[in-house]
Copies of this chain bind each other. A is one copy, B any other.
Amino acid sequence: MAVISVIEAVRSAMQEEMRRDSSVFVLGEDVGKRGGVFLSTQGFLDEFGESRVIDTPLAEASIMGIALGAAFKGMRPIPEVQFSDFVWPSINQLVGEAARARYGSNGQLTVPMVVRIPYGGGIRGGLYHSQNVESFFFHVPGLKVVSPGTPYDAKGLLKSAIRDDNLIIFLEHKKSYRLVRGEVPEEEYTIPIGPSDVKRQGSNITVVSYGLMLHHCLEAAELLSQEDVDVEVVDLRTLRPLDTETIINSVKKTGKILIVHEDNLTGGVGAEIAAIVADQAFEYLDGPISRLCGPDIPTMPFAQSLEEAYLPNTDKVASALRELAQY
């Protein structure tokens, strides 16, 4: 097993799938010679050539519309949105068109397409290079939303996503790209889209998270274990469809739940999880359903002091867990 970073995992998943299936291709801004601004397609132009590694004009709506049209003809496009913050111009093609193509044609059209979106903050990106966009897609029927937190999950899930015949919004936390490293097998593997993963077993409190925040949760769980609080950490990995069963089972066991995400609190993914728990595990709850999320301002500001104030981190998760433990 090699230890690699998230960006390397992403790159190698695409590379393997492009070697395996000639209908897979990438397109986006600077994916060619530049190899992507995060280098996720580094070397691709040389290996796969201009026709499968397409540097597009700066126009996100068309990147998605063109990818979708190619998917209709049996290609398997992987459009890249350079930063999540720039996905908005393409929302109509994604939410309005691609996510409804199969449903709206009564099963005639197929959209085997993976939209890769680097998202999230903590990199001094300010209001337009830090956004969490997951809750927008989370609400949309007809697509799947994946958000891995580790290199192992990133690679296995991205390979599955590329093979999936449906529209997948693949969210990669950009701060995790180089920061998070982990073991990844040499041999081929995939991870199914859908099931969450209990990254740490525990009996006192369930904490549910995904993406970069997962790591803060794991660290906080470690801290709490020294205070005799046994925390179970559920890594969602796939946001839509949501693996309700794992969450509910965990809450039935622990009786308490904390949901952690970097995205704004109001109307975030955590709200739905809370709602589901309130409905399905109501009688098992020993405490209020708690959320630790980004505050309701546009996103993390640029200044270091403000960025830190916005972001959940290990200390903040640990405090929230302590409070819940004492309830």
Residue A297 interfacial (CB < 8 Å): yes
Q: Check A288–B298 contact: CB distance below 8 A.
A: no
Q: Check A99–B282 contact: CB distance below 8 A.
A: no
Residue of B with least CB distance to A282: B288
Question: In angstroms, how far is the closest chain B Cβ from the Cβ of A201?
Answer: 25
Residue A267 interfacial (CB < 8 Å): yes
Which of these, B61, B85, B270, B282, contacts A289 with CB under 8 Å? Answer: B282
Given contacts A88-B92, A278-B274, A288-B278, contact A139 B297 (CB under 8 A): no
**Residue of A135, A240, A268, A278 with most chain B CB atoms under a 10 A cut-off:** A278
Residue of B with least CB distance to A280: B288
Q: Check A282–B285 contact: CB distance below 8 A.
A: yes
Q: Check A298–B99 contact: CB distance below 8 A.
A: yes
Residue A287 interfacial (CB < 8 Å): yes
How distant is the Cα of A88 from the Cα of B287 in the complex, in angstroms?
Answer: 40
Q: Mark A125-164, 1 if CB is under 8 A from B, else 0.
A: 0011000000110110110000000000000000000000
Given contacts A139-B136, A278-B274, contact A104 B127 (CB under 8 A): yes
How distant is the Cα of A100 from the Cα of B280 in the complex, in angstroms?
Answer: 37
Residues of B close to A266: CB separation below 8 A? 138-139, 141, 240, 242, 272
Question: In angstroms, how far is the closest chain B Cβ from the Cβ of A236?
Answer: 13
Question: 9 shortest A-B CB distances, which residue pairs?
Answer: A274-B275, A139-B267, A88-B92, A278-B278, A271-B271, A278-B289, A271-B272, A271-B275, A282-B288
Given A88-B91, A100-B127, A142-B297: 8 more A-B contacts, CB < 8 Å = A100-B298, A104-B298, A136-B139, A139-B266, A272-B275, A278-B289, A279-B289, A282-B288
5 contacts between A and B (CB under 8 A): A135-B139, A139-B264, A141-B264, A267-B272, A271-B275
